[in-house]
């Protein structure tokens, strides 16, 4: 335990609203351990804005980052619901089913769904 990878949170998303998100794969150079994380925020006008913030943070910890795609997250904290949908023009569509599994680790008491709908 105690690896830097464990110190990286699986999920960092805004507590409320609809916003862009990306699925990012972290990897140790030369293979080794890897894992996928979800990052999303209303502050990002474009998906690459999120990646441009995450990438240097992770590089400092010694990881290579690859964006696996993006989409949107609708986070309703009042009803404890999260909906994952849409895609990223630049990165393509993330595998939303993977995103949902990662979100479930963090939001254990939420109803979390996904679809390929654009809206």
Annotated binding-site residues for substrate read: 20
Catalytic sites, residue numbers: 47
**CA dihedral for 46, 17, 108, 98, sign (positive or negative):** negative
- Spatial distance between the Cα atoms of 48 and 4, rounded to a whole number of angstroms: 24
Q: Where are the alpha helices (DSSP H) in 1-119?
A: 4-7, 47-60, 96-106
Q: What are phi and psi of 97, to 5 degrees?
A: -65, -35
Among 29, 34, 113, which residue's Cα sits nearest to residue 76? 113
DSSP secondary-structure letter at 45? S
């Amino acid at each position: 335990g105690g690896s830097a990878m464990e110190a990286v949170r699986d999920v960092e998303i805004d507590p409320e609203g609809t916003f862009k998100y990306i699925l990012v794969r972290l990897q140790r150079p030369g293979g080794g351990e890897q894992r996928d994380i979800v990052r999303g925020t209303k502050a990002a006008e474009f998906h690459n804005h999120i990646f441009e913030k995450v990438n240097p943070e992770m590089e400092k910890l010694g990881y290579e980052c690859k964006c696996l795609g993006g989409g949107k997250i609708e986070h309703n904290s009042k009803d404890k619901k999260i909906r994952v949908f849409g895609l990223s023009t630049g990165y393509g569509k993330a595998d939303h089913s993977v995103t949902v599994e990662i979100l479930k680790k963090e939001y254990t008491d939420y109803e979390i769904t996904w679809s390929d709908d654009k809206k």
